[in-house]
Structure 1
C-alpha cells in the first residue's frame, strides 16, 4: 500500500551571510515579508499541502524560530485584556499550525547533511523538503502538486524552474530525458555547472519529494562543491538506482535568500495586501516618475 506523505523537513541552519549585519543576531528565516517571517510562509505551504509533521533543522542562534511557533503567554494575555481579539487569534493560530519538531545541525556541512540529520524523524517513509529561501505564489500549493505527482509515479520529485543560462552556476541543474506538460524524466543532475557545462536551463529550486533510500546515499556521500555534502550529488546517485522526475514551476517564485529577491517579494506582497497596497502603489508611482525620495505631505 502506498504511503501518504505526512512529514516534511525545513532546513534552517544556514548563517544568512548575504543578509549581514541583520542576521548577526536574527535568523534569516525570521526576516519578515510584511508582518510575517519568511519561514511561516514555508510552513503554511506545507500545511496547505496536507503535511502533518514538520521537522525544522536549526543551528546555533536560531532559538527565535522555536519561539515564534510556540505559545506566547504574556503577549496573548495582553492582547486579550486590550480587546485586540483579531490579533490574538492570529498569534494563537501560529501555535497550532502543525506538529513542529526541531533538531540542531551541529556543523554547517551542507544541505545534504541537513537532510541526513532528519533520518530518525523520517524513518522509512517518503517525505518532503522545503527550503526557506524559496517562496512560491500559486493558486494551488506547489508542494501539493508535487505530492500529486508522487502519488501518480511513486518516484522522487524535484522542483525545477527555467533560468537564464548565465545563472545556472548558482543552481543544481537537471538533464531531462522525456518531457510532458512540465513533467520531466531526469537523466542526470549536475551541481552548479558553468553555462558551457550545463545540460539544460532547468534549475533545481527549493522543493523536493523524496523516497527514504536517499538517507543511505547521504550517509556515505563525500563533500562536493564548496566542500559541503550536496543534496544534488546524492540525488544524482539515487537517480542511477530508480526513476526520478522534475516538476516545472508555473507560478511565481521569489528567491528570498538574497537581498534583491527579498525586496521584490516584499513589494509584490504589499501590492496584494489591501491594507497597504494603495499607499505602496502611490509611493512606487512617485519613485517611477523620478521625483526623488518620497515624502507624504499632509
Structure 2
C-alpha cells in the first residue's frame, strides 16, 4: 500500500516549469527522503502532494485521496512542517498549540494540547514565548503542531535547517519512533547523514526526478569510482587533475584528496599519471551519497536560468 503515489506531475509558474513530469511512490510507514539543490522543485512538489497547489498536469493519490479533487481531505490527515518557523512568536508554546488545535477542530482542546505537550516533552516550557525559544525547541514546537491532530502522513520541508547536531539527532530519533508506529514521512533535506537515515530517497534536480531507491541502490546505480590521494603534494595533484580525462569531481578532505568520476579506466589512468608526478599515494574508496549528490548537480541544468 502506498501513502503517496503520483504520476507525471507538472507544475508551472508562468512560462517556467518548476515540477517536470515527477512520478514517485512512498509506502505506508516509510521514511522517504527528498533530496535536491535549492530551487529544484522539492517544496513545490510537497505542496502539490498536500493539496496546497493543484498540478497543471499529472495525477496522483495521497492517503487514498485524489490530489486534484480531494485536497481538503488530504490536508486533514497530513502534518506539514514548513522550512521557516511559522508560529506566533509573542504567544507561548501552549497558546500556539491551542490555536492549532482549534484550527483542526480538536475536542476538547485543552486535552489535546496537554497530551501534545507531554508527548513532545514541552510541558516544562508551556508558558515560554515561542520567540524566545532556541532553534531546537522551535523545531520541537513545530513538530508538536504537526502531529497533534494525529496525521497519517508527515511532510517535512528541510525541518532541521539551522539546528545543532544534538537536536537534529533527537529529532530523527523521534521521527523513527513515529514511523515504527505506522506514520509515513516524506522529508526534504540537504544533510547527507539525514538522507542515510531514510528508508528510501528520491533525488530531484531542477524539476526532474533523477533517482529513487534505497541509499545503497542510488549509490550503486550512479556507477561512480572514487579514489583517495594522500601524502606528497596533493595541492599540485589537484591542480594537475583538473580537466583530465575521467575526472568529474575533485574535493580536498583534510590532508587527503577525493577524486570521483564515471569513466573508471580513464579516471584510474589520470590518477596514476598524477601520482607519479607528485609522489602521492592513491587508493580506492567507497563512493558516498554526497559524491552522487554532487555528480547529479553537475549534470543538471537550472530550469530557471
Q: By the TM > 0.5 criterion, same fold?
A: no
* Largest Rg, 1 or 2: 2
Taking structure 1 as the reference length, the TM-score comes to 0.30
